[in-house]
Amino acid sequence: MTRDLPVRDIAVVAFAQTDHRRTSEELSEVEMLMPVLHRVLAQTGLKTADIGFTCSGSSDYLAGRAFSFTLALDGVGAWPPISESHVEMDGAWALYEAWTKLLTGDADTALVYSYGKSSPGPLRDVLTRQLDPYYVAPLWPDSVALAALQAQALVDAGDTDEPALAAVAARSRTDATLNSHAQLRGSVPQGEYVVRPLRTGDCPPIGDGAAAVILAAGERARELCDRPAWIRGIDHRIEAHGLGVRDLTDSPSTRLAAEKAGAFERPVDTAELHAPFTSQEVVLRKALKLDGGVRVNLSGGALAANPVMAAGLIRIGEAAARIHRGESDRALAHATSGPCLQQNLVAVLEGDPR
């Protein structure tokens, strides 16, 4: 297929994240975020006032209060006033908004950040509030139960089995031993069933964390980074909300987003998938046609750290960082939102030829 390529080259030039932890109750969101903002700016030598556009992603429901993002702006240091926006979504979508802003030529650099503190409330209960408020949410079906429905559908379809899922968990947490930011790493027992067929080990840790990325266009990107991670394509798609009308063993929205992002034009060497549950990696590998030659979630992925609202942006950041370090030439990054992979974003990143 042929795609209209973006009229402007835009790259991820810097990435920073917190050490993700089960709880950070001694810190406000601003205090959790500020070191990350400082680190990502320091990587490029930019100051807040040098940034052309700022965009963030977060969710009020995690903090348990309205307008939780307004005070995060204090951490950015928005004075003199800045051009700024916010999506009530994972930071991967904030990055998408910033990417479009840079494409218009209105800005040459963008700061993207997101954060989530899951520790203030019971996350499984909180996430039920994402569901249809009239017919489904009153039943409080939680995120693990819904993921288990998907996992069982996969097992029933012969797409996976429990040992295969356990292998995904073990591989992810072994890889995470090299990731100092990860919350759960090394040898982690598969544990008891949480909701059959998912065991503790098939589920992501619940944690608090933040991440930030800097984007830059064209020559600006080369000035700020030795090996920019160029965004060759980025697209996102949503599916129906009702689980009953979806084939849970497949992810057509991921496949379509990947197609629009140009992921299938040439093979990728690295993939960072936002798959909070082991079973979801099975679905995503199929939708993205990833074979054994692709290194998947070398960071440990969401099974090693899943700070809600930042975990998707971290996938893009981890993929970009591998390109920055010369460990990848063409990487795919994926982010998800909603129950059972309802909404999916795919970005394709490339380093300059070596």
Partner 1 sequence: MSKEPVAVIGVGQTKHVAARRDVSIAGLVREAARQALDDAELSWADIDAVVIGKAPDFFEGVMMPELYLADALGAVGKPMLRVHTAGSVGGSTALVAANLVAARVHGTVLTLAFEKQSESNAMWGLSLPIPFQQPLLAGAGGFFAPHVRAYMRRSGAPDTVGSQVAYKDRRNALKNPYAHLHEHDITLEKVQASPMLWDPIRYSETCPSSDGACAMILTDRAGAARAPRPPAWMLGGAMRSEPTLFAGKDFVSPQAGKDCAADVYRQAGIADPRRDIDAVEMYVPFSWYEPMWLENLGFAAEGEGWKLTESGVTELDGDLPVNMSGGVLSTNPIGASGMIRFAEAALQVRGQAGEHQVDRARKVLGHAYGGGSQFFSMWLVGSEPPDA
Q: Where are the beta strands (DSSP E) in 180-292?
A: 193-195, 198-199, 208-217, 229-238, 270-272
Shortest approach of partner 1 to residue 325 CB, angstroms? Answer: 30
Shortest approach of partner 1 to residue 300 CB, angstroms? Answer: 26
Shortest approach of partner 1 to residue 206 CB, angstroms? Answer: 16
β 109-117/193-195 pair status:
unpaired
For residue 261, how many other CB atoms are within 10 A of its CB? Answer: 24
Residue 70 or 187: which CB sits closer to partner 1?
Answer: 70
State whether the Cα torsion 67-69-72-76 is positive or negative: negative
Residue 7 or 139: which CB sits closer to partner 1?
Answer: 7
What is the SS3 assignment for 59? coil
Q: Which residues contact 145 (CB under 8 A, 6 or more apart)?
A: 195
Q: Which amino acid is at 235?
A: D
Residue 300 or 339: which CB sits closer to partner 1?
Answer: 339
* Token reading at 281: 């990696």
Half-sphere exposure of 48 (CA within 13 A, CB side): 17
Shortest approach of partner 1 to residue 189 CB, angstroms? Answer: 32
Shortest approach of partner 1 to residue 321 CB, angstroms? Answer: 25
CA 313 from chain centre, in angstroms, equals 4
Shortest approach of partner 1 to residue 117 CB, angstroms? Answer: 11
Residue 64 or 326: which CB sits closer to partner 1?
Answer: 64
The C-alpha atoms of residue 94 and residue 99 are separated, in whole angstroms, by 9
Residue 97 or 350: which CB sits closer to partner 1?
Answer: 97
The C-alpha atoms of residue 175 and residue 172 are separated, in whole angstroms, by 5
For residue 78, how many other CB atoms are within 10 A of its CB? Answer: 14
Residue 185 or 237: which CB sits closer to partner 1?
Answer: 237
Shortest approach of partner 1 to residue 215 CB, angstroms? Answer: 13
Is residue 217 a contact partner of residue 109, using CB atoms and an 8 Å limit?
Answer: yes
Degrees, nearest 5: CA angle 38-39-42: 85
Residue 134 or 192: which CB sits closer to partner 1?
Answer: 134
Shortest approach of partner 1 to residue 161 CB, angstroms? Answer: 30
The C-alpha atoms of residue 152 and residue 198 are separated, in whole angstroms, by 9
Residue 227 or 236: which CB sits closer to partner 1?
Answer: 236
Q: What are the residues binding partner 1 (CB under 8 A)?
A: 4, 7-8, 28, 54, 59-61, 64-67, 69-71, 73-74, 77-89, 93, 96-97, 100-101, 103-106, 126-127, 129-134, 137, 235-242, 252-253, 256, 337-339, 342-343
